[in-house]
Structure 1
Amino acid sequence: MAAIDLKNIQRNVNAICEEVGEFIRIEGASFDLTRIEQKNSFNNLVSYVDKEAERKLVAALHKILPEAGFITEEGTVEQSKQKEYNWIIDPLDGTTNFLHGLPIFAISIGLTRGDQTILGDVYHIIRKECFHAIEGGQAYCNDQVIRVSPVKTLGESLLATGFPYYHSAKKDVYLDIIKEFLEKSHGIRRLGSAAIDLAYVACGRLEGFFEYNLNPWDVAAGTFIVQQAGGTVTDFRGGNNFIFGGELCAGNSHVHPEMLQLIQHKWHNHQ
């Protein structure tokens, strides 16, 4: 297969995010809470906006790279991991925030070649901030190059996490980890969008982010942007299975080892 022009694809993806983001923003301004479905688990909500946004993204992305497959949250298109290239899409990361009018939600688009991510795009809809990166390039917020925070210790760090919606057997040990981080850092934020959490690590607004029970579409774009911004991302074992493995720890190169050590001490002793 001929090589693809990643820079041109990135420009197109940024424009697509802006267009679909505007659709989501306008719909949010007049959203009707009765138009919500309960997905297959408690607190897993989906609106008609998620599905329509995904359809728009899929149609536009298919035009710019027809040979690519799709892995999407809402399943509005046939799912594929078998293609050489695959788009991994969350049309509205932070749906619960969106439904309640809390202005922290994003579009997340990753492009993989084989098992490598080669493009990431996280579009913070309300702030109109487009965080993006391609293979071999730097990370950006709109047109500005971004880098992870230079903070050197966990004690000086501001972190983010999320709370899994369903009642997992690991809930208590996870809360223990959060308690310890609260004592050993500047604090923890829970923004409600893993894609935005990761984008904020990439641009230095947060020093680190950790969570489990994540999905590929939550993190494929954001983890790549963190790496291209000079950060470190691993699963809770310190390995690379953080897109499909459901758990991740991301941070700058100084703070990440401290975070991982604290997580591992409790997490793997529990298993």
Structure 2
Amino acid sequence: MNLEQLAQQLNILCRQTGAFIKQEGQTFDRSKIEKKGFNDLVSYVDKEAEKQLVEGLRNLLPEAGFITEEGTATTKGERYNWVIDPLDGTTNFTHSLPVYCVSVGLLDGDKVVLGTVYDPSRDECFWAYQDGGAYLNDTRIHVSDAPALKDGLIATGFPYFDFGLTEQYLQVLGSFMAKSHGIRRMGSAAIDLVYVACGRFEGFFEYNLNPWDVAGGAIIVQEAGGKLSKFTEEGDYVFGREIIASNGHVHHEMQETIAEFWKKGMA
């Protein structure tokens, strides 16, 4: 498999899907919003975007299966599987907040080997493939070289349906506020990840995530020289429901800051 060629083809497909989403956003009617669960929104734009991606990806790699947010394709591949979030940041999109993206990753077994995150509002296409480096459009990107948390800007995502660890989470936020340049909440995990990859953030953490939230962005962080893990341990951050992504230098500090309060909530 030529991963570089496949990445270029994936970029074109994600740009096409992103253009559809951006166009629909200009006339989107909020009355068309559906709810999959409490604060879990979906629209016809999510569903149609996913259908477009699935159709295009089937042509690119017929033997691959799919792990999709909206469930338009559920066939699992023996080796390869596309992990798709057609519109990461749906709540932002439905409120006309231009922070959302198309995110697609390719799994070879349990390892992400290729990923694209396309932000149509800024026309920024972040992409990477295994051992090929990470890029923003045609420019190579790298994580920042900030040496410590006190020099960094940190991103996170707020809980929106499972509030059982809210107290611990707020304590973690307070600690990060005191130790860093500040906290940002963009509303799209994929955007947070690629902003770590290109040095806009030094770190990102969130819990209650799904594989389609992180698969596309994770390899971009990795190939940009960053580090990924679960909160307090190494492990499966794609399917493990929680993730820390960093420039590497601040990773241990982030794990220590989270662990100080998080273990109390998990006890």
Other-structure match for 1:194: 189
Other-structure match for 2:138: 143
TM-score normalized by the length of structure 1: 0.96
Kindly indicate whether residue 14 of structure 2 is the aligned counterpart of residue 17 of structure 1.
yes
Kindly indicate whether residue 103 of structure 2 is the aligned counterpart of residue 123 of structure 1.
no
Query: 237-246 vs 147-156, which deviates more?
Result: 237-246
How many angstroms does 1:58 deviate by?
0.2
Partners of 1:78 and 1:213 lie apart in 2 by 21
TM-score normalized by the length of structure 2: 0.98
Other-structure match for 1:29: 26
Other-structure match for 1:176: 171
Other-structure match for 2:207: 212
The root-mean-square deviation of aligned C-alpha atoms, in Å, is: 0.9
What whole-Å deviation, never above 9, does each CA across 1:50-91 have from its counterpart, x for those lacking one? 0000000000000010000000000011242x5200000000
What whole-Å deviation, never above 9, does each CA across 1:32-53 have from its counterpart, x for those lacking one? 11111111x2110000000000
Other-structure match for 2:41: 45
Kindly indicate whether residue 70 of structure 2 is the aligned counterpart of residue 78 of structure 1.
no
Aligned residues: 266
Partners of 2:193 and 2:233 lie apart in 1 by 17
Alignment check: 8 A CA contact 1:152 1:254 kept: yes
Partners of 2:150 and 2:232 lie apart in 1 by 22
Alignment check: 8 A CA contact 2:4 2:132 kept: no
Code of the residue aligned with 2:163 in structure 1: it is S
Code of the residue aligned with 2:144 in structure 1: it is S
Structure 1: 5+ residue stretches without partners: none
Code of the residue aligned with 2:17 in structure 1: it is V
Partners of 2:35 and 2:232 lie apart in 1 by 33
Q: Determine which of 47, 65, 72 is the counterpart of 1:69.
A: 65
Partners of 1:169 and 1:220 lie apart in 2 by 25
Runs of 4 or more off by more than 3 Å in structure 1?
A: none
Partners of 1:79 and 1:85 lie apart in 2 by 11
Alignment check: 8 A CA contact 1:72 1:79 kept: no
